[in-house]
Amino acid sequence: MYSLKIPLESFDERGLRRSLKGVGLQALALSRALWFASSKELRNLAAELRTRSRKFAVNRASWIPFLHMLSILLVPLIVAGMGWYWSRHQQGVEDLKSMIDLITDPSPERQKYGIAMFEFLAKNGRMPIEFIEAQVDYATSAENHELLPMLELALQNAARENPQVANAYRLALERGPARVFAHVPSEQASACLSRLHDSLREADKATILFPAVRISQTYSGSNTEIRFFHAEDGERARKVAKLFGALGLNLKIKDMSSTEWALTTRPNSYELWTNGGALSRACALHANNSG
């Protein structure tokens, strides 16, 4: 261990020179010792690197035949895998085209085959999520009114095995128009309801769909009700009631989400019940306003 020692001498000119000379010699000795120590460390490090590089060269030489054999095996496997993927992709595209052709065919019998194929593809995860919404939209406005119920049943069956189908189905229904199943006491009341619906603005009319109007004289309530069956559909039911309320038909909103019927009713579906009295008055008011 080196240390700098300044002698305690009288600080005359000669003594000061001797002290500075001694300090310089000690500093030079210290710098040389540090250089030799660091040089030794560097030499040891360089020797270790040379040893490791020689070992790596030997190991690399032994790995070259193995890597060559591995490449010979992997190349055909990669080519076969790409071919299998492409074939499967092409088959998936052909299946989707066949399904669409069957569902959009005018023949109800061929549409049934298309629905069965739709359920199979959706159940096994081979149906793009975007196709679900497109098929629901098509079935909603199809001439065959039985197509939508068949499609919904297929989606419900597929959703039991594929949760992604259930989520996509829910989103598709939320984006679509509210389906209102009307129960009216007579044909006159049914025609009155159609006139009220037709009198809505085009943008508002597109948000409400009447898939079926049933003639039923079993409802004896004094209120004209709109019923919803899922808690998340409450806000949509209020919007429908507001639109008809502007036409003079006041709808009482009834929550049916805790009943057994909610389990079998699809989301975004509603029921309108009336004894006909309020509906007739709304139509008369609308006729007077129109005249």
Rg (the chain; Cα; Å): 43
Q: Is position 55 within any domain?
A: no
Instruction: Tell me, yes or no, whether 158 and 252 share the same domain.
Output: no
3-state secondary structure of 188: helix
Q: What is the pLDDT of residues 113-165, one digit of tens each?
A: 899 999 988 888 887 777 787 888 788 778 887 888 888 888 888 888 888 88
CATH of the domain at 214: 3.30.70.2390
Q: How many domains does the chain have?
A: 2
Instruction: Tell me, yes or no, whether 156 and 244 share the same domain.
Output: no
| Phi-psi domain of 268 (left: phi exceeds 0; alpha: psi -120 through 50; beta: other) | left
Q: Is position 14 within any domain?
A: no
Q: What is the pLDDT of residues 202-211, one digit of tens each?
A: 888 888 988 8
Q: How many CB atoms lie within 10 A of CB 192?
A: 23
Lowest mean pLDDT among 34-43, 144-153, 182-191, 234-243: 34-43
Side chain identity at residue 49, one-letter code: L
Average pLDDT over residues 37-59: 62
Q: How many residues does the chain have?
A: 291
Instruction: Tell me, yes or no, whether 209 and 148 share the same domain.
Output: no
Domain that holds residue 109: 76-176
Q: Is position 131 within any domain?
A: yes
| Phi-psi domain of 162 (left: phi exceeds 0; alpha: psi -120 through 50; beta: other) | beta
Which tokens go with 30? Answer: 């210290």
User: How far apart are the C-alpha atoms of 270 and 145, rounded to whole Å?
Assistant: 17
The conformation of residue 183, written as its DSSP 8-state character, comes to: E
Q: Is position 47 within any domain?
A: no
Task: Give me the helices (H) in the chain, please.
Answer: 13-103, 108-123, 129-140, 147-159, 163-175, 187-198, 202-205, 234-245, 277-290
Q: φ and ψ at 208, to 5 degrees?
A: -130, 130
Is the pLDDT higher at 278 or at 33? 278
pLDDT value of residue 28: 52
pLDDT higher than 60, residue 36: no
pLDDT value of residue 165: 84
Q: How many CB atoms lie within 10 A of CB 2?
A: 11
3-state secondary structure of 252: strand
pLDDT value of residue 39: 57
Cα 81 from chain centroid? 28
Task: State the DSSP string of 6-56.
Answer: ------SHHHHHHHHHHHHHHHHHHHHHHHHHHHHHHHHHHHHHHHHHHHH
pTM exceeds 0.85: no
Check if the beta carbon of residue 226 is closer than 8 Å to that of residue 254: yes
